Amino acid sequence: MSEGMFIVRDDGTLVPMRASPFESEAVFQTLLAAHPSLLAAEAVDPGNPRRWLLVAREQGVPGEEGGAGRWSLDHLFVDQDGVPTLVEVKRASDTRGRREVVAQMLDYAANGVVYWPAEMLRSQFERAYAADGRDPDDAVRALLASPEADPDAFWAGVDVNLRAGRIRMVFVADVIHPELKRIVEFLNAQMSPAEVIALELRHYVGEGLRTLVPSILGRTAEAERRKGIAGGARSASTQPTVAEWFARFEAERGSEELAIAAAIRDWWKARGATIGTTRSQRPSLYAQIAHGGHEGYPVFIKASGRVTTGLYASTKLAPYGQEDARRAVVADLAAATGLTFSDRAHDGEPSVPLALLKESTRRETLFAVWDTLLTRVRAAG
């Protein structure tokens, strides 16, 4: 059976190709590492096809701060927007249950975003490239299609994406079974800003030739709507005006959360902060403050209806370059909101649902935490 797959030679003859399993998982993985475009670059984002740079094969994933690799991810890539892309490869002949494979990927993602410092990923990437006699900075510039690109800024973006949980999880197999497809559809509809994809990479052989046919599975119209994908294509990154951002926010989240977001904006604006929006597919509203020749972004209001305290984006403001000062803010946030934050929250952006701040007294307790933050910045001279 050729399954209707043929190759036409230059002399006009046909070569029938038959579906065939990969010889081994190692062959499968080596092809992906050497040719990241097999990850269906245009199907993932037709409006802005993805380009990927391999960070590592068999990427270790620690299960605790400073720990050794507890698990091993098949491939870790980053795309041109600095979005980490976790790839796990399984042949159809793999006898493990679909749920086990999904649980494995979620372990990698949950721990990777917490325990993978971007500087560590960059260091191992650079060592691997240098060992092959290649210039790692040139590889980044090639990924970004710009000889003037700044590798430092690129890796800083990778760090921001990791801390925000802005990652892509890709299950790759020569046959995606219906059970896995349904799980991926569900996860992709529920998870944001993370993205979950199933990639079926069909393998055909015939007369010494090999044909690979990738196709994306697991996206649904509802998932695309929720993630801001129109017509199957992810919308281009935008940077709305503040007024446009609020109009979009009200349309998505309603008037009650709009009023809370406006109150937060007004509080920061009254204290001299600059209010702006980020450039992304799902832009956030931010408050920017400057002191002592440095700038920080202590607050972001997310399109998803959460307000975050941007500790990772405030490290240039004294005294928040110090870990103990950032941990103190996390402790104050926990006391003010009754929420529990992870042990790595001091290096991220602990978030609070706007719905929790409906009562003005709850907002005032959060404002008091931010007021202390501002007071300490200004007292640092």
What are the beta bridge partners of residue 233? 230
Among 75-84, 320-329, 345-354, which is the least confidently predicted range? 345-354
Reported as a single tens digit per residue, the pLDDT across 37-77 is 888 877 777 777 889 999 999 888 888 766 667 888 999 99
What is the pTM assigned to this prediction?
0.58
What share of the chain has pLDDT > 70, as a percent? 90
Q: Residue 256 pLDDT more than 90?
A: yes
| DSSP assignment of 45-96 | -TTS---EEEEEEEEEEESSTT--EEEEEEEEEEETT--EEEEEEE-TT--S
What's the mean pLDDT when you consider all of the chain? 85
As a whole number of angstroms, the distance between CA 45 and CA 73 comes to: 23
Tokens of 225: 């709507």
Look at the chain and count its residues: 381
In 3D space, the residue among 52, 25, 50 whose CA is nearest the CA of residue 36 turns out to be 52
Reported as a single tens digit per residue, the pLDDT across 267-290 is 999 999 999 988 666 788 999 999
Q: Would you say 299 and 310 are in contact if contact means Cβ atoms under 8 Å apart? A: yes
| DSSP assignment of 186-223 | HHHHH-SS-EEEEEEEEEEEETTEEEEEEEEE---HHH
Q: Would you say 40 and 217 are in contact if contact means Cβ atoms under 8 Å apart? A: no
Q: Would you say 191 and 109 are in contact if contact means Cβ atoms under 8 Å apart? A: no
- Kindly state the helix (H) or strand (E) to which residue 109 belongs, with its residue range: helix 98-115
